[in-house]
Amino acid sequence: GRPLVISGSGGVGKTSLAVQWAHRIAERFPDGQLYADLRGFDPTGTPANPTSTARDFLLALGIPADDVPDGGAEVLRAYRDLLARRRVLVLLDNVRDLAQVRPLVPDGARSLAVITSRNRLPGLADAHVVKLDVLDEDQSMVLFGGRVGADRVAAEPEAAARLVRLCAGLPLALGVVAARATLDQHPLGLLVEELEHAALDALDTDDPLTSVRAVFSWTIGCLSPVAARLFAVLGLHPGPDVTEQAATSLLGEPAADAVAELLRYSLLNCHGDRYRLHDLMRSYAAEEAAHRLSHEEREQAVQRLFDHLMHTALAAAAKSDPLRQPITTPEPAPGAVVAAFDTAADADRWYSTELAVLSSAVTAAAEAGFDGHVWRTVWAIRHYLLATRRFREGERLHRLAITAAHRAGDLEGRCRAHRGLVSFLVNEREFAAAEEHLRCAIALDDRRGDLIGLSNDLRGLAYLLGGQGRYADALDPLWRALEAAQASGDRIELASVSASLASVHDELGDHEEAATWAVQARDMFLELVPDENDTMAAANRDTLAGIYRALGRYTEAEENYLRSAQLQATLSYRHYQADVLVRLADMKAEIGEAESARHHYRTALGIYDDLGFGKADEVRDLLARVERPVRPQ
């Protein structure tokens, strides 16, 4: 029959699965069951010869030694001819590659080969392939609990759960830890301390067949030099997963072939276009980096990676927030890949898939002293963190950025980091702390003579005061911001200040004055960004709609609400899109257009429900009011 290939990394349980399954189906093969360890990944470094294995199989099947041919080709032909006539199950364990196993795979439908290998053996035609991965936490606990006993797990449940996580779902590691816990009666908490300190050391045994580090090393010994180097530098990646572009940046040369080789030998797992090392494999890769690469080589690889992430994040920011004041940025290191984006939607998709890596990378860069990468990367992802309401994570990263910029003595970085933190603090209603950071940014930009930055800071102060309902107090910093923006001659900043003045005048009830500023801002934004794909342009449209609503100019209000909602959706601010639609629905309800109000409430409700926002309940109440039939008089 068609051969069955069970592939996976070392220690994942391929042999155990194959042997158990072979026992279950043995009765289907009455002419015999054969087993051979082909030593493809073995501490001896000497894989078994297929001709010698075929000769042993012929003898095991009852062929007299004198009848076994002498020549290699004849032995293999005799073996295959015999299995074509009989029903034999052949378990070929620990196969290195296709050249070793192909001569031993039976022809025809009567016999079956079951093959285990770290190599995926993609060239084995018509094979059924079962790819084993590490276990999830529940499966790991079942395996671990079965080895140490339910009582031990019940006595130390937190330690048992932590041990399972530290073993990264690798059955071999779980077996080693369970054996130590059982044979030496070590408290599980003590084993946790050992694994947290040095997991691979704690999983070392005297037997190279069960030592996790040794088992991993046999696979590395089979790799090409470039793939072995890529494996090592992947240990420098902060996780949780890696793209081919990141792998190329770490390696300093195209990585596609090396990635394919690591996949073939089950050292990487593939999830779409992303690749992952399980945690123990990552620890081993980090050891390989320390042993194989010089300090300078490691530093260069890490810089290329951080350059890749930082510059790609900056490219995404330029596409998704094009009117934002730019920052000074050094050129990327040779070999670092910088992605480009055609649309803001492309940029936001990249943010979405890469955000966990970016957060880890910022933390790692801070620990490694790459201070410029810290604050610039945080600056670049601020827009997306706000759009997706990750306020606590935004605060954490901006505090890292402030520390890094201060440590580096970088005034620009300190300004950007202090100013960036404010938006997150305001959303958490930490107004006093936000004002403190804004005043730091104002003082620094004043010291630097950065008029655009100073205007931006003062707009931030006005936004902060407005968030506390202090709209009259917000006018003073806005007049100062207007003066700085006019002195700078920067039309983007002038448009932004105009939009802020419109918003504050609207809140103060001076709608005619507000309309003047909002229209001026709208016209300037249209001049600067004709498609209006900018956060300030979208917000100004919403402000203008509210002003027209207050003035009773409902058609113009509706046009601007709809335009703002459209822009917010394009910019990935879906919660703001829903907010705008609720305001439009409120207006429609006020002027007696119930059907239109219901439509917009329902659309907003769908967005809030999709995002899991509590505002959904408020909108349900509003919708119920407009859906309630009017009683006849």
pLDDT digits (tens, 9 = 90+) for 168-222: 888 888 888 888 888 767 788 888 888 887 767 767 766 666 677 777 887 888 8
Q: Find out whether 602 and 623 touch, Cβ atoms under 8 Å.
A: yes
For the residues 530-558, what does the mean pLDDT come to?
A: 94
Four-residue CA torsion sign, 224, 229, 232, 234? negative
- For 74, the 3-state DSSP assignment is helix
Q: Measure the CA–CA gap between 174 and 104, rounded to whole angstroms.
A: 33
Name the residue with higher pLDDT: 246 or 575: 246
The string of DSSP letters for 89-131 reads EEEEEEE--HHHHGGGSPPSSS-EEEEEESS--TTSTT-EEEE
Q: Find out whether 327 and 379 touch, Cβ atoms under 8 Å.
A: yes
Q: What is the pLDDT of residue 322?
A: 82
For the residues 569-582, what does the mean pLDDT come to?
A: 89
With a pLDDT cut of 70, the percent of the chain lying above it is 97
- For 186, the 3-state DSSP assignment is coil
CA nearest to 218, candidates 109, 94, 314: 94
Whole-model pTM: value is: 0.79
Tokens matching residue 525: 């934004």
Question: Given the DSSP bridges, would you call strands 89-95 and 33-37 parallel, antiparallel or unpaired?
Answer: parallel
| 45 torsion bin: left (phi>0), alpha (psi -120 to 50), beta (else) | left
Rg (alpha carbons) of the chain, rounded to whole number: 33
Q: Find out whether 192 and 221 touch, Cβ atoms under 8 Å.
A: no
Q: What is the pLDDT of residue 174?
A: 87
Average pLDDT of the chain to the nearest whole number? 91
CA max distance for the chain = 111
Q: Measure the CA–CA gap between 373 and 400, rounded to whole angstroms.
A: 11
Question: Given the DSSP bridges, would you call strands 112-117 and 4-7 parallel, antiparallel or unpaired?
Answer: parallel
Q: What is the pLDDT of residue 220?
A: 85
Query: Tens of pLDDT along 124-162?
Result: 878 999 998 889 999 999 999 998 898 889 989 999 999
Angle, in degrees to the nearest 10, between helices 344-368 and 391-408: 50
Tokens matching residue 369: 């002293």
